[in-house]
Structure 1
Amino acid sequence: MDIYQHFRKEEQPFIDQVLSWQDEVASRYERKVSDFLDPREQHIFRSIIGNNEDFVLRDFGGYEASERKRIILAPFYESPLDEEFGVTLLEASYPSKFVTLEHRDVLGAFMSLGIKRNKLGDLIVTDTHIQILIASEIADYVKMNLTGIKKAGVSFEERPLGEVLQTQEEWQEQSGTVSSLRLDVMVKEIYNISRQKAGLFIDKGAVKVNFRKVEDPSFTLETGDLISLRGKGRSVVKEIEGKTKKDKWRIVTAVLK
């Protein structure tokens, strides 16, 4: 069976990487540690490996509720520990009296260093502190070079993973049925707007799927896809449970409140 038929064409390079790791772990008995993966990539990884008893697959992003995670694929007899994932927590404070920082400000400053997005895990931004979970191999570089965000001077220091701040984020889960897994239909259902309005948002480039702008209303969503609608927040497709007797798709989604 052609494994590619179950995934999108643009996901083939990632699938090839997972298959290559699978072969290497099987032949060399050496574990592989991925970069940080978004929920869709995590789903693909697990789908490919499945319940193969020759491997151990564990994920870790620094704390229990993390969205972006690294995955270790290892021979069946190994038991990877949290500290072996290479995840480092950096923290900085900033003068909130003089500047307001948001998630996008911190992400933009991080990306301006020329570091790839897959080296960065979750970002936590409060009224006074910033925490970033990153690949340990770039921690020193980030500490030395990420010294300013907007007009705020910052100095990042390493903290134990147990000191990850509790975020105020709350995901509200909802289930329902849709006639199609098209992007416009799903946006309509998730954000409780008309399909026409959903289509307009998509046409104007206001919708992203897995951090990439999608302007095709017929784009098909799948399990693990992260959606963001400008002005209305983020959501995720948690499960696609199959079809009902009336030929509708049963879905479970969650919206960030």
Structure 2
Amino acid sequence: AGTPSNCFDFAFAASKMAIEHMTPVMLLTDGFLANGSEPWLIQNMNDLPAIQVNKAKEGEKYLPYKRDAEKLIRSWAIPGTPGMEHRIGGLEKMDITGTVSYVPENHEVMTHNRDQKVKRIANYIPEQTVYGDHDADLLVIGWGGTQGHLISAVRELREAGHKIALAHFNYINPLPKNTGEVLGKFKKLVVCEINLGQFANYLKMNHPKYDYLQYNKIQGLPFTVAELKNHFIKLMEE
């Protein structure tokens, strides 16, 4: 989530993703969002997108770890349905059948399955958007509760005649499919974070061909628009 008002939207999106892709989803917020406030229109439940549940079909042979070819997700069995009894718990399960497995090769197969399942979620999340000048030299990169300050700083600099752009990420693992394309359009990339550079390091790991500048603040306080503008101007003048 990036603003107090879209916390609901991303909480709903996280729940939808967890159910439809059968995987744990972590929603990241911070103290700035928790203590912030802004007007928010209460959602009409009928306007929210439907959550599609991949239910097992009665009458068909139920294989608890059989996955569909598109999302690599398993089907959900409603507890108590005759013929769909299966083991749950922390012990390793055999691919397809779901029986307890102690086979090393099966552990590797299941690990790859889960890894690919998460990566394929990128096919179902929005592509990364860019706010500002697409022909600018400097791209500001942010995520989470820094959104308001970054947008304000970039907007004010553009109003003053500077060319600058912002990519604020709402999806981290997986990253949007067009992340590499977005990063490759700009000469300078600066990642702004209220930490020592967690997202910058993550981008370096996933897109190592680009150079990332970092602007970090670890004072228990949010960025100010003034300090962001001053730093961005220095980068644009270098």
User: With structure 2 as the length reference, what TM-score do the two structures score?
Assistant: 0.23
Structure showing the higher helix proportion among its residues: 2
Bigger-Rg structure (1/2): 2
Output the TM-score relative to the length of structure 1.
Answer: 0.22
Tell me which protein shows more strand as a share of its residues.
1
Higher relative contact order (CA 8 A, sep 6+): 2
